[in-house]
Amino acid sequence: MGENEPDSILVVTPHPDDSESGAGGTIARWCAEGKKVVLVVCTNGDKGTSDRSIKPEDLAKTREIETLNAGKVYGLAEVVFLRQPDQALEDSEDFREQIVRQIRTHRPRILLTAEPERRYLRHRDHAVAGRVALDAVFPYARDHLSYPEHLEEGLEPHRVEEVWLFRADEPDTYVDVTDYFETRQNALHCHLSQVGPRSKESDERSRARLAEIGEKYGVPLAEQFKRIKVFR
């Protein structure tokens, strides 16, 4: 990273709204601080509804628009849709190559993704997205002989310094998001198809959750993560 370049972060979210619910205050804070944040959305989210009148393909389109709207609220540098199938994300060569490509393209210092190893109740797509993102960081994105065709396209190997996991079973790092609650809620409620419009009640629920985490760390509102130092 050059001295005048902003710190850069790649967020790998299994479904379009997970990054908002899992780390929205942190993403809002990073963007406000001038960091370059790129969002990679793994699945098309076309199974995320209880409304039987919505066609999956229409839902997928709606969710892309919702995600782009949330991106504008934060001021994301870019949003990339990988359009893998919802509830059918696999640890495949194809998906791994997509993540390695995004790492080598955007060259982040930090990669933020979902905890892959939750013990009991977990969404399978989250487990796969988190695992593949970690595998992509080490060793695939580092080694020039992994996906050597990338070199021909000018995509050099890249070492991500840290991986941060949201919804982690054993968090060890927090971010004070007190000043970014408004932005977090506005971004979260761009996902109208998932969480409905913003309301006093939804704000109270979110605030209570973030306050419970904040209490652990001595700040009003916080989000917490498992932080893995990979390369220095």
Catalog residues that contact Zn ion under the rule CB under 5 A. Answer: 14-15, 18
Q: Select 31 or 114, whichever has its Cβ closest to Zn ion.
A: 114
Which residues have C-beta within 8 Å of that of residue 61, sequence separation ≥ 6? none
Q: Select 14 or 171, whichever has its Cβ closest to Zn ion.
A: 14
CB of 16 to Zn ion, least distance (A): 8
Euclidean distance between the first and the last CA atom of the chain, given in angstroms as a whole number: 12
CB of 13 to Zn ion, least distance (A): 8
- Return the SS3 of 220: coil
CB of 14 to Zn ion, least distance (A): 5
Q: Select 124 or 216, whichever has its Cβ closest to Zn ion.
A: 124
Q: Select 8 or 44, whichever has its Cβ closest to Zn ion.
A: 44
Residue with tokens 């710190």: 7
Structure tokens at 41: 């959305």
Q: Select 114 or 160, whichever has its Cβ closest to Zn ion.
A: 114
Q: Select 14 or 25, whichever has its Cβ closest to Zn ion.
A: 14
Q: Which residues, in sequence order, are bridge partners of residue 175?
A: 223
Structure tokens at 131: 């695992």
Alpha carbon distance 38, 35 (integer Å): 10
CB of 4 to Zn ion, least distance (A): 36
Q: By the 8 A CB rule, do 83 and 123 touch? A: no
Which residue has the closest beta carbon to Zn ion? 15
Task: Report the DSSP pairing between strands 222-229 and 173-176.
Answer: antiparallel
The radius of gyration of the chain's CA atoms, rounded to the nearest angstrom, is 17
CB of 56 to Zn ion, least distance (A): 16
Structure tokens at 140: 């695939």
CB of 86 to Zn ion, least distance (A): 9
DSSP assigned state of 139: I
